[in-house]
A and B are shown apart, each in its own frame.
Chain A
Amino acid sequence: MRNPWAQTGNYRTSYEQDTTIFATYREIASVVALLVALLVLPQLLERSQVLTLNFILIYAIAVLGLNITTGYAGLISVGQAAFMGVGAYTVALTAPYLPFYLTIPLGAAVAAAFGAIVGIPSLRVKHLYLALATLAFQEIFVWTVGRMPALAQGASIPVEMRNFLGYEIGFRNHNHFWYYVILFTLVLMVIAWRNLLRGKYGRALVAVRDNDRAADAMGMDPGRTKLMAFALGALYAGVAGGLLAYFQRSVVIEEFTLAKSVGFLAMAIVGGLGTVVGSLLGPAFIEYLQLSMERFSEWIKGSQAIQQIIPPGVDVASALLPLSFGLVIVLFLMFEPRGLYNWWRLVRSYFRTWPFKY
């Protein structure tokens, strides 16, 4: 007899069953429990801790987008921060005239349009050459913003929102208010991601990634699929950029540089390419690594004993973050190329069949 709460004996015998997001009630219950926990979490944290959480959730949206372009479609993009910047600057320019629930989708649409344009080289080039094309866009974006007086030449453009439907937003509740907005957006983006990729379009992405000529022979349009992958990846980045603009109360070019794009790639790799869970775990892990290294670095600088061992002129504290960042990526690529998602999958598999081993 089929048990709707357990995976054991729960066979997928139809196409509809095979494409369901949740196979059992237990999976639905666990997602609901996670959402409840996420809703309650900020009430248990300090305001400044909610700030870190907000950055993680915003980066998770950007990484979700990168996971469409790079994770699913296999098109390497090192311009995700620039797409995020397109969204952020669109929001900065339209925020004085429109409410945030219009400016953010507008920013996402503009970013998607840029994504489709930047994706054009993907019709002719692949792999590292394509990565270079996206790198060029990243650099052109920063260069252009730096020369546009309308965008304050990369200096700050304030993005203020003091009131939402009569609810006053100020220093004391700013982080919490934006936490719930970002969380709501993230949930929507995850649902859209799952729905998009479990259907025809998702399979087309995988087919084009694995062999675009074979996909072409089977009636898919590899060119359009690739452009859509870029546009969708950029759309997610645009949403993330718009949220970042409101959350940080301003837009400055330093948030959209090549280093940030590389950071997003690292988050996607560490989290697990092409997965929702990886898109959440990657940013959380990298942010936690950053915080840990920060504390470790402060400890090294404060420790007389350590300072005596280090040769004069050698700044270990400076090297710690890039060193740990690089090391983590290399170690993941070598020993766990499927990223943190794989650990999550193993744990989940264990509990799914519990108390049976298999």
Chain B
Amino acid sequence: MKRSMLLVGLTLLSLAQAQKTVSLVHSGAITGPTSDVGGPYAAAIEDYCKYANEQKLIPGYTLNCIVRDDQYQNPNAQRFLEEALDRAKPAVYLGYATGAMLALKSLIQEVKLVAIPASAHIGLIDPPDNTYVFLPTSSYSEQVVALLEHIAREKKGAKVALVVHPSAFGRAPIEDARKAAAQLGLSIVDVQENGGSLDNTALLRNLEQKGAEYIVHQNVAGPVANILKDAKRLGLDKKIKQLGAIYTGGNDLIRLAGDAAEGYLWASSYYTLEEDTPGMRLHRELAAKNNRGVLGQSHNYTAGLLAAAIAVEAMKRAAQRFGRIDNATFYDALVGMNGPNAFNPGFVVKTANSPEIDFTKSEQTGGEGLRVLEVKGGKFVPITQPFTSTLFRKVHYGK
């Protein structure tokens, strides 16, 4: 009896030792500037990691999730990544801010570590040093071009103004937007930067004077909410239609802008919280289980879940295909995520021609489909079928 117990004990011990650890590191703005995005994003990554370990999603491995708060400071992001490289040897880096990611690109290239950032700046997947950076969904540039296509369908020759965040994040789509507008027969009447003015009367009157019929925002929700409220106060909400890319919208915008958000159009790849897909069911379940409250209501929580889900799926495939998870096998598993092996977790829309998430060595954007949603009765409601911008690749890559 004693001997058999000893044997069982030894077997359990050897099994426990056989369980290896693989690390994922995320550095984002949990506090400080843009923490309204970074907070739910990081919470989702933590929750998905717990879920992955509970469900044993990576056979033979325990997932070690390192989530750090860089407070939107580039030196902090650099320090956290280097600390992780020294101490944990992560298989993947889930980055965050545009500035930090752009600054870290050459380091990422040198250490051959796959990075999946929250930022969708097209420069991250453009050369040089772009081999290991992958965007979970379409870039800001593609989103803005898609919105311009939507405007062109709605009104030929419309006059459009761009209002962007005063940063690399905000300026990312301007060049492609100008080229796309020229091809679509739209005229860009003005490009303004706005980082959160409390009174936008001058901005709006100026755009009105220039005859702007549409304002396309590339910003975060706060500044857009202020502009929407001011437009309503000035009676311009019926005269100028406002639209925006991914970080301008969501429940945060509705909470901040109130009824001034009615009619706002938003380009998003993500399903809404109310939709019944496997991914959104998991979103609701994890947010409730971890008592995430307001954080769990945000589409940024969905975005965090998607980034973590892609990472975990690639780890799982690397373990199954190569018997080990390291930088190289993770990369191979990720770029093999296409065709019949595409990943369909149910967080983002897919089009008739493309699966939900697919990557190749040259196609570094995961979810290429997006929809335009409109605020109706205090909720974002899809008003288009999922589509992919037809013009973006032409204006950006010339093909």
Contact = CB atoms under 8 A, between A and B. Distances in A.
Nearest to B82: A48
A248 to B, nearest CB: 6
Interface in B82-117: 82-83, 85-86, 98-100, 102-103, 105-107, 110-111
Contact of B103 (A146, A156, A298): A156
Contacts of B172: 155
B102 A155 contact: yes
A312 B110 CA distance: 43
A253 to B, nearest CB: 7
Interface in A246-275: 248-250, 252-255
B75 interface: yes
A175 B83 CA distance: 12
Contact of A250 (B32, B75, B102, B111): B102
Given A153-B168, A321-B71, A315 B31 contact: yes
Contacts of A250: 102-103, 105-106
A254 B75 CA distance: 10
A52 B35 CA distance: 24
A171 B89 CA distance: 13
Nearest to B98: A155
Contacts of A321: 31-32, 71
Interface stretch (B121-129, B143-151, B226-234): B121-129
A16 interface: no
B4 to A, nearest CB: 42
B79 interface: yes
A252 B75 CA distance: 11
A27 interface: no
Interface residues of B, number: 37
A30 interface: no
B352 to A, nearest CB: 34
Contacts of A315: 31, 35
B293 interface: yes
Contact of A249 (B85, B106, B294): B106
Contacts of A317: 30-31, 69
Contacts of B85: 171
Given A155-B171, A318-B32, A46 B86 contact: yes
Interface in B281-300: 293-294
Interface of B is mostly: helix
Interface string A220-252: 000000000000000000000000000011101
Interface in B317-337: none
A12 to B, nearest CB: 43
Interface in B39-86: 69, 71, 74-76, 78-79, 82-83, 85-86
Chain A interface size, under 10 / 10 to 19 / 20 to 34 / 35 or more: 35 or more
A297 B31 contact: yes
Given A315-B31, A321-B32, A158 B71 contact: no
Given A171-B110, A315-B31, A294 B69 contact: yes
A47 interface: yes
B171 A153 contact: yes
Contacts of A170: 110
Contacts of A255: 74-75
A55 interface: yes
Contacts of B294: 313
A335 to B, nearest CB: 28
Nearest to B169: A155
A154 interface: yes
B166 interface: yes
A312 B293 CA distance: 10
Contacts of A154: 167-168, 171
A336 interface: no
Interface string A19-54: 000000000000000000000000000111001100
A312 B105 CA distance: 38
Contacts of B259: none
A175 B82 CA distance: 10
Given A155-B98, A158-B128, A248-B74, A48 B79 contact: yes
Contact of A155 (B78, B111, B123): B123
B193 interface: yes
B87 to A, nearest CB: 8
- Chain B CB within 10 A, most for which of A48, A298, A315, A320: A48
B103 A248 contact: yes
Nearest to B84: A48
Given A146-B193, A248-B74, A317-B30, A155 B121 contact: yes
A170 B110 CA distance: 8
Interface in B134-167: 166-167
Given A312-B293, A315-B31, A248 B105 contact: no
A146 B166 contact: yes
16 contacts: A48-B82, A51-B82, A146-B166, A146-B193, A154-B168, A155-B99, A155-B171, A156-B99, A156-B123, A156-B168, A175-B82, A249-B106, A252-B102, A255-B74, A298-B69, A321-B32
Given A52-B79, A321-B32, 18 more contacts: A46-B83, A152-B168, A153-B168, A155-B99, A155-B123, A155-B172, A170-B110, A171-B111, A248-B103, A250-B103, A254-B100, A254-B167, A255-B74, A297-B31, A301-B69, A312-B293, A313-B294, A315-B31
Interface of B: 30-32, 35, 69, 71, 74-76, 78-79, 82-83, 85-86, 98-100, 102-103, 105-107, 110-111, 121, 123, 128-129, 166-168, 171-172, 193, 293-294
